[in-house]
Amino acid sequence: MSERKRQDFPLHRRAKAAAVLALAAVALLLAPGAAQADTTGDHCVYNLVREDLTCADSPEAALAASSVGLQADTVLLRMYGDTNYGTSTGTHTLTVPGSHTCSSAYSPVEFTITHMGSFTNKASSVRTYNSCDVKLFDNDSATGTSSTWIDALANLNTASGGWANRASSYQVS
């Protein structure tokens, strides 16, 4: 093999490999995504660490669909579209992978959810888990008027300031 052919051969192999990788990337983008979560349905689960939203037709189905791998997710809170923890108009559940217990102090804030997506201004009751409490905010990015810290409340209208159908973002501690 001549000197020129020996030099061109590695370049040809690299170009071919790059073309194969490009085709594989396009195939992954166009393939129906098993990794892409369903975001239709009235009951949604937001996983803080994975930063993904999974929705389904029931709270249980949404939670099951959002679980990935062998490590179970821990529910930190669930907001309900109805008073008295009713689920007929939807739910918004916040999870983290593995186990997590919130600190007993409100400061520092452990998690801030800056936007509630389709559940904005829909929460009518809320329940927290694993020693967590929630503070609701009128505006996105945890700004505007805020509620007091809430552990569980069957009717958010009974909170000071009336918080049913009002929250756009929240903090967890």
pTM (predicted TM-score): 0.75
CATH code for position 93: 2.60.20.10
Q: What is the pLDDT of residues 125-148, one digit of tens each?
A: 999 999 999 999 999 999 999 999
Query: Distance between CA 126 and CA 91 in Å, rounded?
Result: 9
CB 68 within 8 A of CB 42: no
Tell me whether strands 152-153 and 143-146 are parallel, antiparallel or unpaired: unpaired
pLDDT at position 27, please?
31
The answer to whether residue 156 sits within a structural domain is yes
> Are 47 and 27 members of one domain?
no
> Are 78 and 150 members of one domain?
yes
CB 100 within 8 A of CB 173: no
Q: What is the pLDDT of residues 149-172, one digit of tens each?
A: 999 999 999 999 999 999 999 999
If one counts the domains in the chain, the total is 2
> Are 113 and 141 members of one domain?
yes
Q: Cα torsion at 156, 46, 75, 162 (round to 10°)? A: -10
Q: What is the CA radius of gyration of the chain?
A: 23
> Are 80 and 140 members of one domain?
yes
> Are 81 and 7 members of one domain?
no
Range of the domain at 143: 43-172
> Are 18 and 58 members of one domain?
no
Structure tokens at 20: 């194969």
> Are 70 and 108 members of one domain?
yes
Q: Cα torsion at 152, 154, 157, 160 (round to 10°)? A: -30
pLDDT at position 41, please?
84
Query: Distance between CA 131 and CA 77 in Å, rounded?
Result: 10
The answer to whether residue 36 sits within a structural domain is no
pLDDT at position 19, please?
37
The answer to whether residue 26 sits within a structural domain is yes
Assign 70 a pLDDT band (cuts: 50, 70, 90). Answer: low
Query: Distance between CA 22 and CA 17 in Å, rounded?
Result: 9
> Are 61 and 126 members of one domain?
yes
